[in-house]
Amino acid sequence: MANLASTFIGIKSPNPFWLASAPPTDKAYNVERAFEAGWGGVVWKTLGLDGPPVVNVSGPRYGAIWGADRRLLGLNNIELITDRPLQVNLDEIKAVKRKWRDRALVISLMVPCDEESWKGILARIEDTEADGVELNFGCPHGMAERGMGSAVGQVPEYIEMVTRWVKQHSRMPCIVKLTPNISDIRKPAEAAKRGGADAVSLINTINSITSVNLDDFAPEPMIDGKGTHGGYCGPAVKPIALNMVAEIARHPATRGLPISGIGGVSTWRDAAEFMALGAGNVQVCTAVMTYGFKIVSEMISGLSDYMDRKGFASVDDLVGRAVPNVTDWQFLNLNYVTKAQIDQTSCIKCGRCHIACEDTSHQAIAVSPERVFTVKDEDCVACNLCVDVCPVENCITMVPLAKGSVDPRTGRRVGDYGNWTTHPNNPSVAAE
Ligand SMILES: Cc1cc2nc3c(=O)[nH]c(=O)nc-3n(C[C@H](O)[C@H](O)[C@H](O)COP(=O)(O)O)c2cc1C
Ligand code: SF4
Ligand code: SF4
């Protein structure tokens, strides 16, 4: 069995699966049960200033998007940071860390954007023996209106300033958690690095309204007839998170900055994808809120089997392996040609591929009176839409044409690698 042991910015955990700061990490009871189930680490639910506890709504705080089988695809929440007293959290954190020395325990923090507040909270947590801090510059609702969370995460100068305070006033490793509610994720990551962050984690939730009640005419979840925007997460956000992780991993100014990958991780495969794109470990929230702590055992065995198959000695062999293959559109090989091919033995003759290609693509799938569906190579542009809409996995595959063969659509031979930067149709090439 492969060795899943992970060291992330010096913080050791038996595997790279951590729980993200959220309800699953809100209290000792949860965290201890998570550790018993096998989670490698947790980021404790975000702590705030001492004083009167945070007040949450007492009506529904979640909204959701489901697939046709009612599987949860996306979760929206309007919850704030912890609403438990600071000292209660600190005492529990200390007790849990003492008991579970081999697990990672990082404390998430969010306090007002002034040096004294940060200095004060850092002094309070010093004694807990936690392994590090995560700065919550991400929550897009509730706290943002009070000048915290994503209100800080959207201003790179603030990120840099607060990170610098934290590094000045604490010896703990510092992870900066980024908001995706920004146009270019590389800017806040650069700012975190400039401020001295040891790592970034992403993504926090995406600003969203998941649904509108069409009788009461208000966004859901609805609190006494009114709704507000919340933070979106779960499987639906994974593609957005993967792209942002890859952007940071391959950006010259942030390359090499450790990344904790978050957003829709539900299986070992999701985790492996984040890691291949440069994440040193992953954090999970929605999947555990949906299925419980025990999903980690399948994540552990799945990743371990995969690493054995690949001959990876440690998770470090996986981290960043796909980063060199993430490129810009202009560098894609325009001389690479594929054609859709239908496996008639697995086709159930539903006709979805035909309708999709006929109505919205390139009219490249013929249907016979006996409902045999075949691809017309002379029309197929290889868009992949038929593969995506076909209900039978692997029934349609994209088959590459051999180099030197003629593409019946264009009449041109499949040639060597050639991209847009040298393509004759590129006006900037013609201008030279
Ligand atoms: C109900 C709820 C509460 C959350 N609270 C926090 C929080 O206090 N601090 C924080 O940094 N992130 C918080 N998050 C965001 C998660 O840590 C995580 O970044 C996000 O949910 C994406 O991961 P996922 O797709 O696995 O859920 C919360 C998420 C949910 C669903
Ligand atoms: S790949 Fe695109 S163009 Fe080709 S058959 Fe499928 S849907 Fe049509
Ligand atoms: S969508 Fe798939 S199963 Fe349906 S007709 Fe096309 S190839 Fe066959």
Q: For the whole model, what pTM was predicted?
A: 0.96
Residues in CB range of 68: below 8 A, 6 or more apart: none
* Residue range(s) in the chain whose domain bears CATH number 3.20.20.70: 6-325
Ligand 3 atom closest to the Cα of residue 349 is 5
HSE-CB at 218 with a 13 A cutoff on CA atoms is 10
CATH of domain 6-325: 3.20.20.70
Q: Give pLDDT < 50 ranges for the chain.
A: none
Ligand number with the minimum distance to the CA of 384 = 2
Q: Which residues are catalytic?
A: 139
Burial of residue 68, with CB atoms counted within 10 A of its CB: 0-12 exposed, 13-18 middle, 19 or more buried: exposed
Asked if residue 366 has its Cβ within 6 Å of ligand 3, the reply is no
Ligand 3 pocket mutation, candidates 343, 344, 345, 352, criterion most atoms within 8 A of CB: 352
**Which numeric CATH code is attached to 329-431?**
3.30.70.20
Residue nearest (by alpha carbon) to ligand 2 atom 2: 383
At 69 the pLDDT is 94
CA 338 – ligand 2 centroid, Å: 10
Q: Residue 373: CB within 6 Å of ligand 3?
A: yes
Nearest CA to ligand 3 atom 2: 390
Q: In this predicted structure, what is the pLDDT of residue 430? A: 63
pLDDT single digits (tens) 253-264:
999 999 999 999
Q: Identify the pLDDT of residue 7.
A: 98
Q: What is the pLDDT of residue 431?
A: 61
Q: How far is the CA of 316 from the centre of ligand 1 (A)?
A: 26
Determine the Cα–Cα distance for residues 76 and 228; give it in Å rounded to an integer: 11
pLDDT digits (tens, 9 = 90+) for 352-393: 999 999 999 999 999 999 999 999 999 999 999 999 999 999
Binding site membership of 392 for ligand 3 (Cβ less than 6 Å): yes
Q: How far is the CA of 279 from the centre of ligand 3 (A)?
A: 37
